[in-house]
Structure 1
Amino acid sequence: MSDMLSIIIPLFNEQDNIEPLYAKLDAVLPSLGHPYEVILVNDGSSDDTRERLDVLAGRDTRLRVVHLRRNFGQTAAMMAGIDLARGDILIPMDGDLQNDPADIPRLLAKLDEGYDVVSGWRKDRKDNPIKRNFPSRVANGLISAISGVHLHDYGCSLKAYRREIIKGVKLYGEMHRFIPIHAAWQGARVTEVGVTHHPRIHGQSKYGIERTVKVILDLMTVKFLDKYAQKPMYLFGGFGLASIAASIGFFLFMLYCKFFLGKSFIETPLPLAVVMFMLIGIMAILMGLIAEILMRTYHESQDKPTYIVDCTRNCKEPDACVAAQPDGAR
């Protein structure tokens, strides 16, 4: 039996785009040869989005509509859709008609080649070059450089994921764009494919240049969780020891100034620097110890493993070794 598709579409004040979007989906999805569902998440819209979605859901039972109580943001709305999805392949996309459902077969074709995540790449992007395109290029460059996962367009919502890749993933902030990074760090095969990008016709864009700042902050969080989630003391403790070393250095220089240059302690800010850096160092180490306790509580109280099994041989559980198949075989 073919894999079931779950198309996940967050919507916020997109009343004029709902009918055209449904028409485009209905023109593509039935011809794919896969069972499918479309999950439309109304992210607290203040226009007629709610009413129009309810009308559509009454006409087509393959549409699953979710109304959030207020506007929680795109990532939270996408997470709601992921939690409700029943498909083997999850395909999120925007509801503003800038993503084209006609590109879904191209994503599926890449999955059939053996990839686990296929990310859309808007090569010819139809957005404001200053407010949207330039910040996006900067953000994409930073994300690729810091994460080591090189994609041209992290911000494109149109992607395809195998369900097992994002099982258990929890999204916060603007984290939905970082799922390919999370997947790659877990050993998934990630690629990208060029997709069509249409100019927005109805409604207003919800994003501006300030989004780049949020992306950078979220990227710092993702990098921290990758490198130090298991051993937070390495980060906090390392910073603490560096601060203590700086404090000792300032103290020795303070003594040098006193006995060799004849300067009184109160003539320089060195005593304050000694105390400040020593306190910062001690506090950082104590924070590291607390983080270590929290991490152990997290894993042990929920029986969370600190590893991921790829496959087994002759174990009690049924053998499973998908990754050991030749590339492209599934």
Structure 2
Amino acid sequence: MLISVIIPCYNSEKTIAEVVSLVIEEIGKMKGYESEIILVNDFSSDNTFDVIRDLCDKYSSVKGIDLTRNFGQHNVLMTALHYTKGDIIVGMDDDLQTHPSQIPILVRKLNEGYDLVYGKYPKKKQSFFRNLGSKFNDFTVRKLLKKPKGLVASSFWAARKLVRDEVIKCKNYNVHLQGLFLRTTKRICNVDIEHRERKVGKSGYTLRKLLRLWASCINFSIVPLRLSMLVGFIFASLGIISSLIIVIRKLVFNNIYLGWSSIMAALFLFFGVVLMVLGLIGEYIGRIFLCINNQPQFVIREMINVEEE
């Protein structure tokens, strides 16, 4: 069986060669399996694609793809999925935190009858705030995408070809792989793997990029719209109750005067909610507009060792 390992590369000139070498070594130890590695350069500012070019010259099983601009991790993974040939696809990072030595663990679990297996880290080697953000993301995604309780998603996963074949049908520019996986199959599970320290540099994800990645999950859910309707109903109810209370107090205690400050505070509150809901609706409309105008998922500048479809 062929295992396709897809790796998004961003400013990883110092680590990607070691990652590739270890992947080939680990899969070479697995009886009955061969490997191909698809490296996609997401417009790195260093010499990452030069290293990828050298790796493609050195190993015929390594494929290199260079994108014209920075498209983001999930779009990069989607790029790679279009060019995989394997029976099993493994997604991992380029920084050695998702270590190639854990690939056999994912594949063994997949062969128990699952369509998709996520690596789960008993202990993550990252900051407290990143761990906190991961928990918030897990909670919100579970509510928005109806992810099974207890299932933990990560950037280290293994999937069958049937999952890949379904996922690449998506033409939406704003890709969220977890949403695509969850709408494709329910045979998903976790397996404990080791999460290692980053050897070189730091994460390329800024707070802005993390928020943008998190927000992409609304493409697969109308829950935010339903929540905005619920919030509107709650505030409308509060407004009616408050009005009744004010009228009753005015009739009972004739000397009570309504203050300008309280009226302005109420106006700011209610108009703030209205603008928030309009902004949410505008976000959905904006995404629809970009899809109608065929915003590309990815644009390829150069491919090495890749067969044209």
Q: TM-score, normalised by structure 1?
A: 0.67
| Residues in 2 aligned to 1:104 and 1:235: alpha-carbon distance in whole angstroms | 40
**Aligned counterpart, 2:203:** 206
| Residues in 1 aligned to 2:274 and 2:137: alpha-carbon distance in whole angstroms | 34
1:142-291 alignment to 2 at 5 Å?
A: 142=139, 146=143, 148-151=147-150, 154-155=153-154, 157-165=155-163, 166-169=167-170, 172=174, 175-176=176-177, 179=178, 183-184=181-182, 186-201=184-199, 203-206=200-203, 210=207, 214=210, 222=217, 225-226=220-221, 228=223, 232=225, 234-262=226-254, 263-266=256-259, 269-270=262-263, 273=266, 277=270
Q: Specify the code of the residue in structure 2 equivalent to 1:75.
A: H
Deviation at 1:196?
Answer: 2.9
Unaligned runs of 5+ in 1: 299-330
Contact 2:42 2:67 in 1 (8 A): yes
**Aligned counterpart, 1:111:** 110
Q: 1:221 to 1:44 in 2, by over 3 A?
A: closer
Contact 1:5 1:87 in 2 (8 A): yes
Unaligned runs of 5+ in 2: 292-309
Aligned pairs, how many?
281
Deviation at 1:143?
Answer: 5.4
Q: 1:96 to 1:237 in 2, by over 3 A?
A: closer
Deviation at 1:7?
Answer: 0.9
Contact 1:116 1:161 in 2 (8 A): yes
**Aligned counterpart, 1:18:** 16
Q: 2:38 aligns to what SS in structure 1?
A: strand
Contact 1:9 1:92 in 2 (8 A): yes
**Aligned counterpart, 2:297:** none
**Per-residue CA distance 1:36-66 (angstroms, 9 max, x = gap):** 4211011222222111111111232321111
Q: 1:224 to 1:20 in 2, by over 3 A?
A: closer
Q: Specify the code of the residue in structure 2 equivalent to 1:252.
A: L
Q: Specify the code of the residue in structure 2 equivalent to 1:255.
A: V
Q: 1:71 to 1:276 in 2, by over 3 A?
A: closer
Q: Specify the code of the residue in structure 1 equivalent to 2:80.
A: G
**Aligned counterpart, 2:98:** 99
CA RMSD across the alignment:
4.1
Q: 1:131 to 1:278 in 2, by over 3 A?
A: closer
Identify which of structures 1 and 2 has the higher relative contact order when contacts are C-alpha pairs closer than 8 Å and 6+ apart.
2
Q: TM-score, normalised by structure 2?
A: 0.71
**Per-residue CA distance 1:156-206 (angstroms, 9 max, x = gap):** x22012233334455848x45xx1x653455421111122333332x2121
